[in-house]
Amino acid sequence: MKLLHISDIHFGIKFLNKSKVLREKLIFGQFSTFRKVVNYSIENKLNALLIAGDLFDSEYRSLKSERFLLEQFNRLDEHNIKVVYSLGNHDSNSSFNDNFLYELPKNVIIFKKDSYESYLLDNKVMIHSCGHQKNDENRNLVKKFPKYIEGYINVGLLHCSILSSIKKNDKYLPTTKEELMNKEYDYWALGHIHKREKISEGIYYSGSLQGLNSKEVGSKGGYLIDFSNNFKTIEFIEFGAIDFINIEIDFKE
């Protein structure tokens, strides 16, 4: 059982503060990067692609991006690969275009309610998730998520903020590391933070799929979670078509 965890693609972002050349390259890079994700999923015979929110940047979605995603989702469907997608703050339920939802192939499962839902994948993995109802979803919706369900691999899929002593009042579906750990899931696939980060064993932010600005430096991609032979491995897979890097130049002689 192999899953790929990605998040924060932000299709439709306009990059208005970039030059025309860079803007075109960044937009092209988003399409190229997502196609690499789909190719990898097919070539490696994955069971599901997990998208932890902000697939889109806002209610604005170009016809090109919608057609492209339908094409890619259909490719995955042809290989019996599920797409499990939880709405984030940028593509919340209040801004989602139902016309796009109606056209999606049967392999796409979207969590868009504010109460948790559980989806059983291949009779082996129980995926628990919910979606943002508005752009500033400030309720802690994790409290009502179920504890570990015996007999299955349990995975949480969520676009959220993890509160800490530094971030006490984040308004984007706030929760805590302890709260996630107490659910005792095998893996938490998180989105919202654009830097990939291990919060705790089995709790990961995948970061943005491609760097969207000069602050999002380093390699970008997603996490491959392999539950084969009752053993879990987590591996970062690089997909980004464009990387931002910091360069220090010393002009002293």
Contact 154, 181 (CB under 8 A): no
pLDDT value of position 82? 98
With H, G, I as helix, E, B as strand and everything else as coil, classify residue 99: helix
The residue with greater pLDDT, 163 or 158, is: 158
Yes or no: say if 87 and 159 are a contact pair by the CB < 8 Å rule. Answer: yes
User: By C-alpha distance, which of 198, 125, 194 is closest to 159?
Assistant: 194
Q: How confident is the model at residue 71 (pLDDT cuts 50, 70, 90)?
A: very high
Say if residue 57's pLDDT is above 90. Answer: no
Residue 197's pLDDT band, with cuts at 50, 70 and 90, is very high
pLDDT at 253 over 90: no
pTM (two decimals): 0.91
- Is it the case that residue 96 has pLDDT exceeding 50? yes
